[in-house]
Amino acid sequence: MTSADGVRAGVFLTHQQPPGRDPLVALDEQLSLVRTARDAGLDSVFAGQHHLAESMAHIQPLPWLARLAADAGDMTVGTGIHLLALHNPVDTAEAYAGLDVVAGGRSVFGVGLGYRQVEYDAFGVPPDQKVHRFTENLRIVEALWRGEAVTADLPWTRLDDVRTTFLPAARPDGRTRPPIWMAANSDGAVRRAARLADTWMINPHATRATVARQLDLFRAEREAAGRPPVTELPVIREVFCAPTREQALELAMPHLARKYEVYADWGQDRVMPGTESFRVGYDDLAHDRFVVGSPEDCTAALLPWRDELGVDHFVFRTDWAGMPVSAARTSLDLLAREVVPALRALPLPVS
């Protein structure tokens, strides 16, 4: 069962694996995490996108989400994120409408720019065009999902008064498309999310202090653009839970540290605000960023996101490339049984 109101919680399954690992074994393991989350009453499951991920094998989100939807029950499935500027907007609109139907109308369309130059080079997108392509592609996808006739004369797509006849599923609240969540790291991207998306998909990399400052920017920009207050505020966090803090650190630290070494190699920290760097020791990297510990530790670290920042949808990333699935499953089970009920227990403060 899932929560109808208040705080929601889900899991982010990157399905990232060490290169050369048997993909069928990895698929079975990841599906076991989907079932664990479903049976524990979590609300959502998300997957991300990378191309040419040199340091790890990475399944693309559409086949992965379509497959896991069969095991997800009533959970929402979503992308975190689809690299919208790299892909044709017609293909995106029709493919993700298909995912929404496969998921029974329970999907989230998470989008973002990404940050890896190798991906933009592979798709022939010049860096100075990526924001324009992103915003135009989003405009086209939304118009097609509304059933409108679309005209566009752009270098990467030519549309002459065309419609798509395959649309996302209708929703009980009257919406005709999936919610659009936009990922953002820099201040400028946060402002863009405020103007263009239904909500900001808060990234797992920034510290709580940084996010608190950027939320002020987000809300001010949204008000200035005449957009209504968001109805959902999601955050992705690196979270690992074990019976004791010592066990949690022992199990999570090697895999989390390696993950952020890869992020540093890919340049993720270069798109963060200020001078944040991932090329620091684990303790400095983890401070105010990772949530690793006992159920009591995790609850204490996550409650301020709810009570001080207004987050009402927590998406836990609790397994990383190379981690034994048994450890990830134990963490997920503990989070669902002992941490999520505490996050749901009290009403959100009135803003």
Phi, psi of 296 (to 5 degrees): -65, -40
Q: Which CATH architecture has domain 8-345?
A: Alpha-Beta Barrel (3.20)
DSSP H/E element including 9 = strand 8-12
Most confident of 61-70, 165-174, 199-208: 61-70
pLDDT in tens, 161-191: 999 999 999 887 788 899 999 999 999 999 9
Tokens matching residue 242? 């074990």
DSSP state of 7: -
224 CB burial (10 A radius; 0-12, 13-18, 19+): exposed
This prediction has a pTM of: 0.90
Q: Average pLDDT of the chain?
A: 90
Least confident interval from 36-45, 238-247, 249-258: 249-258
| Partners of residue 114 on adjacent β-strands | none
pLDDT in tens, 90-142: 999 999 999 999 999 999 999 999 988 999 999 999 989 999 999 999 999 99
pLDDT at 4: 39
What is the arithmetic mean of pLDDT over 128-157?
97
